[in-house]
């Protein structure tokens, strides 16, 4: 692998014994180390408040690493090197006293990367404590989502951090931006002139973005129930995907050029209020059903559930963008828990040819589609119309793929997890893949209006069976416009 220059740093992980750190962040750091992408001088420091001995906590981290990294990727020499870099310090994040010990851990004049895998409510206090012991100057802070639960609370969190850190040293995570195919979306759009001329309301009829998960709430009921699917997935991941599809070409690849273009899209989103709440958006909640042929409980019957909850586990909506490029082109977004399969994909539907000359009964299949698959089977496929082969087939048409399947095309190359790329970019000081404060705020503003509308209208979530594609009304949402969700069985 080509060497990427990364300066040495101390990487301090606040909340190191939490689920995200153990399941995603340590495995990502290990994979970077294994690929020789961490500088020899880089130190990793696990910080947590849990009582217990250093040895026990380091053993917990190692055990999770072995569990979450594929067995074939655990190489004894790489693991030894990784564990050799890793230290642990007990730290109560709110108490200034412990931070002096942190200063001693941060070697020489190296930059400190402070990754906050904790509740957003303590971000401000951690920043203040870093400042107090003189570490803030050389620190980049990485903020995990959720940053607040509405515009006002997200401002409070961002303002608390901004008292000590300029925006140029704040890295807000949306892990979807680190996914390989999302990166490829930028290459596809801006390195191929072929698409750009077609990328507007003259050629595109509509766009679908689906992020479906097979899992239910998996022991996160308390957190999830306060958020719901709109805050948990639409406000961040789906709106970021929408921005990358809809934004104008940036003048260069710098972080701010890209983010300026994304902000313009967020500002141009039509608010969903009034009557549109009934026609343009559907919220659902799963009831008992089947997953992989096995019975599974409904949302209200999950462990620790409050049986009265009206939190949504599914949202489908039609978003419209008020600008020249996208006027009249709906973006249909849909995301839910306990769907039939894990699937994240974007489908761009191109318009029909202006004059149709083939047999009328074949007309329904007409229309090119560009399918961008984020997971599983990352790849891009362009569906084009061709003729069936054979003397007996006449001019019978079929829709077939021109396909680029990333895992087949570069079989030897492992597709890195989103967090690997994001952690590497923080170490390189590159903010391209991180979300700026104003992006978060415009996204909240749009979502807040929608949530306020639900609240005033008393809109209850529609039930859908676990293992289905959501409430019937989510199908009506798109069929009403004479379309259907791509690929639903
Ligand atoms: C997280 C959400 O941001 O994304 C989770 O909080 C969700 O609820 C997860 O399960 C989905 O991520 P991925 O990468 O598995 O699609």
Mutate to test the pocket of ligand 1, among 24, 25, 232, 234 (most ligand atoms within 8 A of CB): 232
CB 163 within 8 A of CB 136: no
Q: Closest ligand 1 atom to the C-alpha of 237? A: 3
pLDDT of residue 404 exceeding 90, the answer is no
pLDDT band at 125 (very low <50, low <70, confident <90, very high): very high
pLDDT in tens, 179-191: 988 888 999 999 9
Contact 91, 48 (CB under 8 A): yes
- The residue-averaged pLDDT of 289-304 equals 94
Q: Do residues 7 and 41 make contact, with C-beta atoms less than 8 angstroms apart?
A: no
CA-based nearest residue to 177, from 206, 142, 205: 142
Categorize the per-residue pLDDT at 116 as very low, low, confident or very high, splitting at 50, 70 and 90: very high
The catalytic residues are 237
Taking residues 126-132, report their average pLDDT: 97
Element (H, E) at 154: helix 151-162
- Per the DSSP assignment, residues forming a β-bridge with 315 are 283, 335
The per-residue pLDDT for 359 is 83
Determine the pLDDT at residue 409. Answer: 60
Tokens representing 210 are 């689906």
- Could you tell me the distance, in angstroms and rounded to a whole number, from the CA of residue 418 to the centre of ligand 1? 11
CA 186 to CA 190: how far, in whole Å?
Answer: 6
In which element (H, E) is residue 372 found? strand 369-375
| Distance in angstroms (rounded) separating the CA atoms of residues 325 and 202 | 8
CA of 64 to the centre of ligand 1 (A): 19
Ligand 1 closest atom vs CA 176 = 14
For residues 333-337, average pLDDT: 98
Q: What residues pair up with 88 in beta bridges, in sequence order?
A: 46
Band of pLDDT at residue 106, cut at 50, 70 and 90:
confident
Q: State which ligand 1 atom lies nearest to the alpha carbon of 220.
A: 8
- Burial-class residue 56 by CB neighbours within 10 Å (0-12, 13-18, 19+): exposed
Atom 6 in ligand 1: residue holding the nearest Cα? 232
Tell me what pLDDT residue 358 has.
85
Judging by DSSP bridges, how do beta strands 289-291 and 294-296 pair with one another?
antiparallel
Q: What is the pLDDT of residues 264-285, one digit of tens each?
A: 999 999 999 999 999 999 999 9
| Contact predicate 334/210, CB 8 Å | yes
Among 153-162, 214-223, 299-308, the range scoring the smallest mean pLDDT is 214-223
> How far, in Å, CA of 164 to CA of 127, rounded?
6
What is the widest separation between alpha-carbon atoms in the chain? 83
Ligand 1 mean position, distance from CA 45 (Å): 25
Question: What does the pLDDT look like over 230-249, one tens digit per residue?
Answer: 999 999 999 999 999 999 99
pLDDT in tens, 63-76: 999 999 999 999 99
Q: What is d(CA 480, CA 466) in angstroms, rounded to the nearest whole number?
A: 24
Strand partners for 12: 45, 114
Q: What is the pLDDT of residues 459-475, one digit of tens each?
A: 899 999 999 999 999 99
Q: What per-residue confidence (pLDDT) applies to 410?
A: 58
To test ligand 1's pocket by mutation, which of 23, 212, 213, 335 has the most ligand atoms within 8 angstroms of CB?
A: 213
What confidence score (pLDDT) does residue 11 get? 97
Give the Å distance between the CA of 282 and the centre of ligand 1: 20
**Residue 1 has what pLDDT?**
46
Q: Is the peptide bond before 146 cis (omega within 30 degrees of 0)?
A: yes
Nearest residue to 173 via CA among 226, 131, 117, 225? 117
DSSP conformational letter for 1: -
User: Atom 15 (ligand 1): residue with closest C-alpha?
Assistant: 213
Average per-residue pLDDT for the chain: 92
Average confidence (pLDDT) over 204-232: 93
| pLDDT recorded at residue 412 | 59
- What is the C-alpha to C-alpha distance for residues 300 and 313, in angstroms, rounded to an integer? 11
Binning pLDDT at 50, 70 and 90, where does residue 107 land?
low
- The answer to whether 329 and 205 have CB atoms below 8 angstroms apart is yes
Taking CA atoms only, the protein residue closest to ligand 1 atom 8 is 232
Q: In the prediction, which pLDDT does 411 show?
A: 58
Mean pLDDT over 349-355 rounds to: 90
Task: Examine the pLDDT at 401 and tell me if it is beyond 90.
Answer: no
The packing angle between helices 26-34 and 418-428, to 10°, is 70
- Taking the C-alpha atoms of residue 415 and residue 182, their distance in angstroms, rounded to an integer, is 12
* pLDDT at residue number 167: 97
3 pLDDT higher than 60:
no
Q: Is the pLDDT of residue 482 over 60?
A: yes
Give residue 395 CA to ligand 1 midpoint distance, Å: 45
Atom of ligand 1 nearest to the CA of 215: 10
The string of pLDDT tens digits covering residues 85-100 is 999 999 999 999 999 9
Task: Report the nearest atom of ligand 1 relative to the CA of 374.
Answer: 16
Cβ 232 under 6 angstroms from ligand 1? yes
- Residue with the nearest Cα to atom 2 of ligand 1? 232
Encoded tokens for 410: 């570069």
- State in Å: Cα 351 to ligand 1 middle: 32
Pairwise CA distance, residues 407 & 415, whole Å: 7
Look at ligand 1, atom 4, and give the residue with the nearest C-alpha: 233
């Amino acid at each position: 692998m080509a060497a990427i220059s990364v300066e040495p740093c101390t990487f301090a992980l606040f909340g190191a014994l939490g689920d995200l750190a153990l399941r995603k962040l340590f495995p990502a750091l290990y994979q970077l180390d294994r690929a020789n992408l961490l500088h020899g001088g880089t130190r990793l420091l696990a910080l947590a408040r849990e009582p217990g001995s250093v040895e026990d906590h380091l053993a917990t981290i190692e055990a999770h690493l072995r569990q979450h990294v594929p067995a074939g990727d655990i190489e004894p020499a790489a693991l030894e090197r990784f564990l050799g870099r890793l230290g642990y310090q007990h730290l109560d994040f709110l108490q200034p006293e412990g931070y002096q010990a942190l200063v001693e851990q941060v070697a020489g004049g190296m930059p400190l990367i402070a990754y906050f895998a904790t509740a957003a409510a303590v971000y401000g206090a951690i920043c203040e404590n870093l400042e107090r012991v003189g570490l803030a100057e050389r620190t980049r802070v990485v903020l995990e989502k959720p940053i607040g639960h509405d515009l006002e609370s997200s401002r409070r969190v961002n303002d608390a951090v901004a008292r000590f850190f300029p925006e140029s040293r704040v890295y807000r995570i949306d892990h979807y931006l680190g996914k390989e195919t999302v990166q490829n979306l930028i290459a596809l759009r801006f390195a191929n002139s072929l698409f750009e001329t077609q990328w507007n309301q003259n050629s595109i009829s509509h766009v679908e973005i689906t992020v479906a998960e097979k899992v239910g709430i998996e022991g996160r009921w308390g957190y999830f129930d306060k958020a719901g699917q709109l805050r948990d997935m639409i406000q961040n991941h789906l709106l970021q995907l929408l921005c990358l599809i809809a934004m104008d070409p940036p003048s260069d690849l710098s972080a701010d050029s890209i983010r300026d273009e994304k902000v313009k899209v967020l500002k141009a989103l039509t608010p969903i209020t009034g009557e549109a709440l009934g026609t343009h958006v559907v919220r659902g909640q799963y009831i008992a059903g089947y997953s992989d042929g096995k019975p599974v409980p409904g949302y209200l019957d999950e462990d620790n559930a409050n049986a009265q909850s009206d939190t949504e586990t599914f949202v489908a909506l039609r978003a419209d963008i008020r600008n020249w490029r996208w006027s009249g082109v709906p973006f249909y977004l849909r995301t839910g828990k306990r769907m039939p399969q894990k699937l994240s994909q974007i489908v761009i539907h191109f318009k029909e040819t202006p004059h149709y000359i083939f047999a009328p009964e074949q007309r329904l299949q007409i229309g090119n589609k560009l399918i961008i698959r984020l997971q599983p089977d990352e790849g891009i496929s362009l569906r084009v119309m061709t003729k069936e082969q054979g003397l007996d087939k006449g001019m019978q048409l079929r829709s077939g793929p021109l396909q680029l399947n990333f895992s087949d095309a570069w079989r030897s190359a492992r597709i890195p997890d989103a967090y690997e790329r994001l952690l590497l970019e923080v170490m390189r000081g590159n903010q391209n893949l991180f979300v700026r404060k104003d992006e978060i705020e415009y996204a909240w503003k749009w979502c807040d209006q929608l949530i306020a509308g639900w609240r005033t209208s008393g809109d209850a979530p529609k039930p859908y069976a676990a293992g289905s594609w959501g409430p019937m009304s989510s199908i009506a949402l798109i069929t009403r416009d004479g379309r259907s969700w791509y690929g639903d069985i």
